[in-house]
Structure 1
Amino acid sequence: MAGINKVILVGNLGKDPEVRHLEGGNSVAHFTLATNEYYKDKQGARVERTEWHNISAWRGLAELAEKFLKKGSQVYVEGKLRTRQYQDKDQQTRYVTEIIAEEISLLGGRPGGGTNGTGSATGSANGADENVSLRQEPELDQLPF
């Protein structure tokens, strides 16, 4: 049986996505996502712990993230963990662990207007926000058959 590498997060964006357009027409978006957990310490006081996650979205998902995601937005992110290494300016090996997004859903709607759920904004008459779900389709060379 093959291994499973699946991450599911619900949190808030720490900043607007930073999008780069690469050679060959590909795009990549990077943003941080904060998740919070709460627990009680030994004295019974409620403690909040925030964990920050680095998220990368590629190709069409990056372009849609650029269009719809804003700092503070609450989102659902589904993807896989990836660790990469690089050499810093002092030639030290550094490691970065990030989530490669395969699906992003905007929870609670988009600030400033509703959406129709297909990745394009609509001017809803009643101002009600609807959810936006963005999904990265697999590349043909990634299909298991």
Structure 2
Amino acid sequence: MASLNSVTLLGNLTRDPELRYTPQGTAVTTFGLAVNRRYSQEGQAREEVCFIDIVAFGRQAETVNEYLTKGNLALVEGRLQWRSWETPEGQKRSKHEVVANNVQFMPRGSGGQSDGSYQPARSAPPSRPSAPPQPPSMGGRGGFDDSFPPPDDDDLPF
């Protein structure tokens, strides 16, 4: 039997992204996303908000941490993941979260810069704990528009 695990969400960040590194040196960023649903019930305008935890890995995690802050609009594509753990007190906990395959920065509203471009939100990411050497970069931005962060290797069509 076939199955599909795909999620696409458009919403606002509920908190600043938190960047950490695994012992192997992989970047991991977590952030919350609020997705609103507006509807009418018995002639009354209603709004329902769903709060979703998002996890991004690798270069995408570093880019999200560098450019996004609380309140920014983002389009997240990924998959649902069920995670469970035990607290130090012995209580079992679990939750669903979205593992992001792609995070797209959406244009900013009139409250920000008028051209919709993104500037780094933070000065520099925290240093990696003795991370293994990284492969050399391709150098430069390869002709990409400087108003957006460079794409991940996963975003390239080849």
Q: Is TM more than 0.5 here? A: yes
Residue 49 of structure 1: how far off its partner (Å): 0.6
Describe how 1:81-100 pairs up with structure 2 within 5 A: 81-100=80-99
- Does the 8 Å contact 1:11/1:34 carry over to 2? yes
Q: Which runs of 5+ in 2 are unaligned?
A: 119-140
- RMSD, aligned α-carbons: 2.8
DSSP-derived class of the 1:20 partner: strand
Residue 132 of structure 1: how far off its partner (Å): 5.7
Partner residue of 2:154 out of 130, 137, 141:
137
Aligned twin of 1:79: 78
TM-score (norm 2): 0.71
TM-score (norm 1): 0.76
Residue 90 of structure 1: how far off its partner (Å): 2.3
Point out the structure with the larger strand share: 1
Aligned twin of 2:18: 18
Residue 136 of structure 1: how far off its partner (Å): 6.9
- Show CA shifts across 1:46-100 (max 9, x none): 0111100000001111001111111110010000000011001321211121000
CA–CA separation in structure 2 for the residues paired with 1:133 and 1:37: 32
State the identity %: 30
Instruction: Note closer, same or farther for the CA distance 1:133–1:121 as it changes in structure 2 (3 Å cut).
Output: closer
Aligned twin of 2:31: 31
Aligned twin of 1:4: 4
CA–CA separation in structure 2 for the residues paired with 1:84 and 1:12: 23
Partner residue of 2:117 out of 109, 114, 119:
114
DSSP-derived class of the 1:30 partner: strand
Instruction: Pick which of 82-91 and 26-35 moved more.
Output: 82-91
The answer to which structure, 1 or 2, has the higher relative contact order (CA under 8 A, 6+ apart) is: 2
> What stretches of structure 1 move > 3 A for 4+ residues in a row?
109-113, 130-136
User: Size of the alignment, in residue pairs?
Assistant: 128
Q: Which runs of 5+ in 1 are unaligned?
A: 123-129, 139-145
